[in-house]
């Protein structure tokens, strides 16, 4: 499944939707699902909504910069294309920023975030296979001097986060 991931309703209202063009509203509403998987998806969208590729790309760029789209991309079934895992670390507060920067320096790390817990640094690692992911976790442990807890997927749940948008 591929599509746009709009931000939450409250955040959308805070950003102000009154200034959105009809094209931008259509992009947000109609392409949460069914985003074309082709060499020229923006051209394909443009044809479907009677626009042009440059205009569609510019509109998506505006929506992204305005914080109305969090990302444009595919949702891939876990472990069908490569491997991933959730990981956590207990990082001393004085080292949190340093270790977070280290973790983020790996291209295999999608994102990391702080949590209010003993395990206060969480991140997702992706790679070509389970051995690749494990090697990244071991490298982070070696460089940080801290243990990394590997929390691999046990059971996948598919959540459809798309929702119809309502415009004033």
* Ordered domains of the chain (ranges, CATH): 2-74 (1.10.10.2890), 83-151 (3.30.70.3460)
User: What sections of the chain are H helices per DSSP?
Assistant: 9-15, 22-30, 41-48, 53-65, 96-104, 130-144
Report how far apart the first and last C-alpha atoms of the chain are (Å, whole number).
29
**Predicted pLDDT at 78:** 78
- Residue 23 predicted with pLDDT over 50: yes
- Residue 94 predicted with pLDDT over 90: yes
For residue range 98-117, list pLDDT tens digits in order.
999 999 999 999 889 999 99
**Predicted pLDDT at 10:** 41
* Distances from the Cα of 86 to the Cα of 62, 128, 141, angstroms: 32, 15, 15
């Amino acid at each position: 499944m591929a599509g746009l991931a709009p931000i939450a309703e409250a955040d959308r209202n805070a950003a102000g939707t009154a200034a959105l063009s009809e094209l931008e509203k259509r992009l947000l509403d109609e392409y949460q699902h069914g985003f074309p998987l082709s060499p020229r998806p923006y051209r394909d969208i443009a044809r479907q909504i009677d626009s042009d590729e440059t205009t569609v790309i510019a509109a998506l760029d505006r929506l992204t910069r305005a914080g109305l789209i969090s990302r444009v991309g595919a949702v891939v079934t876990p472990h069908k294309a490569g491997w991933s895992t959730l990981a956590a670390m207990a990082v001393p507060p004085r080292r949190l920023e340093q270790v977070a920067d280290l973790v983020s320096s790996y291209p295999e790390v999608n994102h990391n975030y702080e949590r209010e817990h003993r395990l206060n640094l969480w991140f997702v690692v992706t790679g070509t296979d389970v051995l690749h992911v494990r090697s990244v976790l071991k490298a982070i442990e070696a460089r940080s001097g801290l243990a990394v807890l590997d929390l691999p997927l046990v059971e996948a749940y598919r959540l459809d986060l798309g929702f119809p948008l309502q415009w004033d």
